[in-house]
């Protein structure tokens, strides 16, 4: 008897997720990760060379090596803009990271400086940034929301459809479930395992579960909460922050980047269960001594300000930072 593929009715319940207004950037190509989205773009365009910032994670370099395209490293100015010495020739592209979701001004500078057809904007840290008329914009929803995979590519280049998503890997969502019912510490090893499952950059579809989850998110609410939390932290901490911040560029930022000398402050916050990533330790091999890249790696504290938290949590974070500074654990000068 032939298998009946009509839609099933009845039986046990599936994981129930809310319906919402739909995926932000819904017209994007949908891949398993931002690095896979970049892989698909490079595969379609086949540039001769691509200029890439030294201050970027190794994961975003892996598609270049997989495709035999040697990236050309460039360095940043103190304002995290592209250094003036960079010039693009024919069949060359430039990839720029919108760091922390706060570099709208630098993106505009680049669109005025170079041909837009030669620009790739990496918005892995700027999910809410709107589409630009450049070659491509790449987004990473899993850095902003509770999904295990996902990478979005907005481009006018003719990109082939990704391979069908593989079945959900065992444990791919385990860290998300563990944190929901337990604690971040309990699920950290599972989180590391889930990250390792995304190492392969060969383009595949985003998983159906991530798509379903992202459809149900209230993006306007998430953006508003991030903006409010960011503004609160800036009001409390800006006198200590050596990184120039333009509040008018705040548009659902990734975090509040506090540039403050002193590794001990980071250790103090982590001991108080305020967990901070490092962007990016693996970039150290590309950074020059004394450069802004090295300063950011060593001293930038990405304070959480996302939609999971409200005023109470932001007060706690700010008070802990201020207490640490008062105890001499961090300062904004050498």
- Classify 313 in phi/psi space as left (phi over 0), alpha (psi -120 to 50) or beta: alpha
11 lies in some domain: no
Query: How far does CA 328 lie from the centroid of its chain?
Result: 31
Q: How many CB atoms lie within 10 A of CB 234?
A: 17
Which token pair is 7?
A: 């839609």
- Polymer length of the chain: 334
Which residue has tokens 């690095």? 35
From first to last of the 334 residues of the chain, give the pLDDT tens digit.
456 668 787 888 788 888 888 899 999 999 999 999 999 999 999 999 999 999 999 999 999 999 999 899 999 999 999 999 999 999 999 999 999 999 999 999 999 999 999 999 999 999 999 999 999 999 999 999 999 999 999 999 999 888 887 666 667 889 999 999 999 999 999 999 888 889 999 999 999 899 999 999 999 999 999 999 999 999 999 999 999 999 998 999 999 999 997 678 999 999 999 999 989 999 999 999 999 999 999 999 999 999 999 999 999 999 999 999 999 887 654 4
Instruction: List Cβ<8 Å contacts ≥24 apart for 194-200.
Output: 194/148, 197/169, 197/171, 197/172, 198/32, 198/33, 198/35, 198/36, 198/59, 198/149, 199/59, 199/62, 200/36
Whether residue 10 is contained in a domain is answered as no
Residues 210 and 289 reside in one and the same domain: no
Q: Residue 286's pLDDT is what? A: 96
Domain residue limits at 268: 219-326
Q: Does residue 201 sit in the same domain as residue 228?
A: no
Co-location of 258 and 278 in the same domain: yes
Neighbours of 312 (CB within 10 A): 7
Looking at the fold, whether 181 and 239 belong to one and the same domain comes out as no
**pLDDT given at position 205:** 93
Residue 2 lies in a domain: no
List phi, psi (to 5°) of 24: -65, 145
Report the domain count for the chain.
Answer: 2
Check which CATH number belongs to the domain holding 233 and give it. Answer: 3.90.1150.10
Residue 237 lies in a domain: yes
Q: Give me 26's structure tokens.
A: 């819904």
- pLDDT at residue number 17: 86
Residue 331 confidence (pLDDT): 65
Peptide bond into 77 cis (omega under 30): no
Cα dihedral 117, 118, 124, 129 in deg (nearest 10) = -40
Same domain, 211 and 66: yes
Domain assignment of residue 9, yes or no: no
Q: Are residues 210 and 73 in the same domain?
A: yes
Residue 69 is predicted with a pLDDT of 93
Structural domain includes residue 254: yes
Indicate if 252 and 265 belong to the same structural domain. Answer: yes
CATH number at residue 51: 3.40.640.10
Looking at the structure, tell me whether residues 153 and 242 fall in a common domain.
no
- Final residue before a domain boundary, out of 147, 180, 215: 215
Let me know if residue 24 belongs to a domain: no
190 and 302 in a single domain? The answer is no
- Cα radius of gyration rounded to whole Å, the chain: 21
Which one, of 84, 63, 61, 64, lies nearest residue 74 by Cα? Answer: 84
Give a yes or no: residue 333 inside a domain.
no
Residues 188 and 236 in one domain: no
Report whether 66 contacts 231 (CB < 8 A): no
Q: Which of 198, 215, 232 is the last residue of a domain?
A: 215
> Position of tokens 């892996």?
62
Q: Does 132 lie in the same domain as 69?
A: yes
Give yes or no: residues 196 and 267 share one domain: no
Two structure tokens written together for 107? 């993106």
pTM of the model: 0.94
């Amino acid at each position: 008897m032939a298998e009946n593929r009509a839609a099933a009715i009845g039986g046990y319940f599936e994981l129930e997720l809310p319906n919402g207004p739909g995926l932000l950037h819904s017209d994007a190509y949908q891949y398993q990760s931002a690095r896979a989205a970049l892989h698909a773009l490079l595969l379609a365009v086949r540039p001769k060379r691509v200029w890439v910032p030294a201050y970027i994670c190794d994961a975003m370099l892996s598609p270049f090596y997989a495709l035999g395209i040697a990236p050309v490293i460039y360095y940043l100015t103190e304002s995290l803009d592209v250094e003036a010495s960079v010039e693009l020739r024919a069949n060359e592209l430039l990839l720029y990271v919108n760091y922390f979701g706060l570099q709208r001004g630098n993106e505009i500078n680049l669109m005025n400086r170079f041909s837009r057809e030669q620009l790739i904007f990496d918005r892995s840290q700027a999910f809410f940034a709107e589409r630009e008329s450049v070659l491509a914009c790449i987004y990473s929803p899993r850095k902003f929301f509770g999904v295990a995979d996902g990478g979005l590519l907005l481009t006018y280049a003719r990109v082939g459809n990704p391979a069908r998503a593989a079945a959900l890997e065992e444990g791919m969502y385990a860290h998300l479930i563990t944190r929901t019912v337990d604690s971040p510490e309990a699920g950290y090893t599972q989180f590391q395992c889930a990250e390792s499952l995304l190492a392969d950059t060969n383009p595949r579809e985003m998983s159906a579960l991530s798509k379903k989850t992202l459809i149900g998110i209230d993006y306007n609410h998430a953006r508003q909460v991030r903006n409010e939390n960011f503004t609160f932290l800036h009001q409390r901490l800006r006198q200590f922050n050596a990184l120039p911040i333009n509040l008018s560029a705040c548009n659902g930022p990734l975090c509040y980047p506090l540039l403050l000398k002193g590794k001990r402050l980071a250790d103090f916050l982590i001991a108080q269960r305020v967990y901070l990533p490092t962007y990016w330790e693996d970039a150290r091999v590309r950074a020059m001594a004394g450069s802004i890249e090295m300063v950011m790696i060593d001293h930038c504290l990405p304070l959480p300000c996302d939609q999971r938290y409200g005023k109470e949590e932001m007060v706690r974070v700010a008070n802990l930072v201020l207490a640490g500074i008062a105890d001499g654990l961090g300062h904004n000068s050498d």
